[in-house]
């Protein structure tokens, strides 16, 4: 049997890396979109993932997408490419709309133009940011696939367009389009612009005497944080399912940033994190998502998906990794 072929956008990001690894283990031939000129991540990515074929294209350039689809001749397309940071999206709302929202439309249209729309399976990276934290329709139970949307950032709004246009192509053209509504997922490959990695990186540096404090925004928001490695498995399972559908991936637990700080500092033997943390308004958002809690029952029941890493396990894993990579004596 010839091996399956997958094309991943956003391949140099956290999820792109985890998914490349998973698909390679499963015997896929993996292709990844990369923006051509001066992509700072390219060299490091090639060194770590030599098995990935990189194809130059841009989500804002439809003809380049058609070229990438023809080169890869992919059976499965995973659209993970996006401006993916909520804070950044407030500062660059138009760029966010061009890439995160319209990029999906460009990619779906390019798939139609290949003439293989009915053969290709498409994964759209939808997000819990589409819900916006206003838990008015299922108080306390967590969001599921039926919950109302109320995005609270340019990122969330762009992702909601992407979600609906993806569903529209499923309904209009009979395409196999699965939308994974993923709650926050973190790990050792998370960028330091996200609060979890910012904290674990700082905790490790504080332990090694390389810095003496960390500056953060609001500490009360709560998130449903899982491990990225578990979540990319769910993406793959969605494309193997007999029906294209929407699925929430989440842990079903929610924790505040204060709780994350407590566990992260405990990992280096510090009981009270307060002396090490300063608040800086620069890291606060114009509109905040107070609490996110997801209900993954459908994915667990229909796909047999299950997360392996729990909240304390996630924090410990990230701090231990950062203690190693920041160790001045290594
Ligand atoms: P998000 O849930 O996709 O926005 O993921 P983030 O990791 O960027 O943010 C999670 C929560 O942490 C949000 O409520 C932020 O407002 C809050 N937060 C507090 N301080 C910081 C900070 O210094 N950086 C980031 N990125 N978020 C922070």
CATH number at 85 reads: 3.40.50.720
Mutate to test the pocket of ligand 1, among 15, 183, 217 (most ligand atoms within 8 A of CB): 217
Q: Report residue 88 as tokens.
A: 């950044």
Confidence grade of residue 143 (pLDDT, cut at 50, 70, 90)? very high
H/E element holding 6? strand 5-9
CA quadruple 203, 252, 313, 303: dihedral, nearest 10? -130
Question: How far, in Å, from the CA of 195 to the mean position of ligand 1?
Answer: 5
CATH of the domain at 319: 3.90.25.10
Distance CA 162, CA 319 (A): 34
Tokens of 321: 């990794």
* Mutational pocket test of ligand 1: of 86, 90, 289, the residue with most ligand atoms within 8 Å of the beta carbon: 86
Catalytic residue among 76, 129, 188, 267: 129
Residue 71 has pLDDT above 80, yes or no: yes
Residue 77, pLDDT > 80, answer yes
Predicted pLDDT at 236: 98
pLDDT of residue 294: 95
Atom of ligand 1 nearest to the CA of 196: 7
Q: Which residue has the higher pLDDT, 134 or 115?
A: 115
Instruction: Report d(CA 56, CA 62) in Å as an integer.
Output: 12
For residue range 17-65, list pLDDT tens digits in order. 999 999 999 999 999 999 876 677 888 999 999 999 999 999 999 999 9
- Residues 153 and 204 grouped into a single domain: no
Confidence of residue 137 (pLDDT cuts 50, 70, 90): low
**101 and 236 assigned to the same domain:** yes
Instruction: Mark whether 139 and 219 lie in a shared domain.
Output: no
| pTM for this prediction | 0.96
The mean per-residue pLDDT over the stretch 108-131 comes to 97
The ligand 1 atom at the shortest distance from the C-alpha of residue 155 is: 3
Atom of ligand 1 nearest to the CA of 219: 19
| Whether 127 is catalytic | yes
- Can you tell me whether residue 246 is helix, strand or coil? strand
pLDDT at 37: 65
Residues 90-112: what's their mean pLDDT?
A: 98
Based on the fold, state whether residues 243 and 103 are members of the same structural domain.
yes
Residue 62 sits in the same domain as residue 19: yes
Decide which of 58 and 330 is more confident.
58
Q: Which two tokens stand for residue 246?
A: 């929407």
Calculate ∠ Cα 120-165-149, nearest 5°: 125
List ligand 1's pocket residues with C-beta within 6 A: 86-87, 129, 184, 193-196, 198, 216-218, 221, 223, 257, 283, 285, 288-289
The fraction of the chain above a pLDDT of 90, given in percent, is 91
Same domain? For 77 and 196 the reply is no
Residues 104-112 have a mean pLDDT of: 98
pLDDT of 114 > 70? The answer is yes
Whether residue 88 sits in one domain with residue 63: yes
Mean pLDDT across 183-194: 97
* Cβ neighbours for 174, distance < 8 A, ≥ 6 positions apart: 117, 118
For residue 294, the 8-state DSSP code is B
Residues 218 and 108 in one domain: no
pLDDT for residue 134 is more than 80: no
The pLDDT of 121-146, averaged and rounded, is 87
Which range marks the domain in which residue 129 is found?
A: 5-185+225-249
Query: Which of 151, 195, 281, when mutated, tests ligand 1's pocket best, judged by the most ligand atoms within 8 Å of its CB?
Result: 195
The DSSP bridge partners found for residue 118 are none
Q: How many independent structural domains does the chain possess?
A: 2
The answer to whether 199 touches 261, Cβ cutoff 8 Å, is yes
Q: What is the pLDDT of residue 305?
A: 98
CA dist 247 to 9, 75, 81, 244, Å? 20, 21, 19, 10
Which residue in 12, 127, 251, 326 is the catalytic one? 127
Indicate if 109 belongs to the active site: no
Over the stretch 264-298, which tens digit does the pLDDT of each residue have? 999 999 999 999 999 999 999 898 888 899 999 99
Residues 87 and 236 in one domain: yes
Spell out a b/e string for 149-175, using b for 16 or more CB atoms within 10 Å of the CB, else e.
Answer: bbbbbbbbbbbbbbbbbbbebbeeeeb
- Assess whether 28 and 63 both reside in one domain: yes
Predicted local distance difference test score (pLDDT) of residue 136: 59
- Rounded Cα distance, 236 and 22, in Å: 9
Judge if 61 and 103 occupy the same domain: yes
With respect to residue 303, please indicate whether it lies within any of the assigned structural domains: no
For helices 228-240 and 14-25, give the axis angle rounded to 10 degrees: 60
Portion of the chain with pLDDT greater than 70, in percent: 98
**Known catalytic membership, residue 129:** yes
Q: What is the DSSP letter of 147?
A: P
CA atoms within 13 A on the CB side of 286: 12
Q: Could you identify the atom of ligand 1 that is nearest to the CA of residue 292? A: 2
């Amino acid at each position: 049997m010839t091996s399956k072929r997958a094309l991943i956008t956003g391949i140099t990001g956290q999820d792109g890396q985890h998914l490349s690894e998973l698909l390679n283990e499963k015997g896929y031939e993996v292709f990844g979109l990369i923006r051509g000129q001066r992509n700072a991540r390219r060299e490091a990515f090639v060194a770590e993932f030599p098995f990935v074929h990189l194809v130059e294209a841009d989500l804002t350039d439809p003809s380049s997408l058609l070229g990438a689809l023809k080169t890869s001749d992919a059976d499965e397309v995973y659209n993970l490419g996006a401006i993916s940071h909520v804070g950044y999206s407030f500062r660059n709302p138009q760029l966010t709309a061009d890439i995160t929202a319209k990029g999906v439309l460009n990619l779906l249209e390019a798939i139609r133009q290949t003439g293989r729309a009915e053969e290709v399976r498409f994964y759209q990276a939808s997000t819990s940011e589409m819900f916006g934290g206003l838990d008015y329709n299922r108080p306390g139970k967590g969001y599921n696939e039926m919950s109302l949307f109320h995005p609270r950032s340019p990122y969330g709004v762009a992702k909601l367009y992407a979600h609906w246009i993806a569903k529209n192509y499923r309904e209009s053209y009979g395409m196999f389009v699965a939308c994974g509504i993923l709650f926050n997922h973190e790990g050792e490959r998370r960028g330091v612009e996200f609060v979890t990695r910012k904290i674990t990186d700082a905790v490790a540096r504080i332990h090694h005497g390389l810095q003496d404090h960390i500056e953060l925004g609001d500490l009360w928001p709560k998130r449903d944080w899982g491990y990225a490695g578990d979540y990319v498995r769910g993406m793959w399972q969605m494309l193997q399912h007999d029906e294209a559908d929407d699925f929430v991936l989440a842990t079903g637990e929610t924790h505040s940033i204060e709780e994350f700080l407590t566990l992260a500092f405990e990992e280096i033997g510090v009981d009270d994190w307060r002396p090490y943390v300063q608040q800086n308004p620069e890291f606060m958002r114009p509109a905040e998502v107070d609490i996110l809690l997801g209900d993954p029952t459908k994915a667990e029941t229909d796909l047999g998906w299950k997360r392996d890493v729990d909240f304390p396990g996630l924090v410990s894993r990230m701090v231990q990794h950062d203690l190693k990579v920041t160790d001045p004596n290594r």
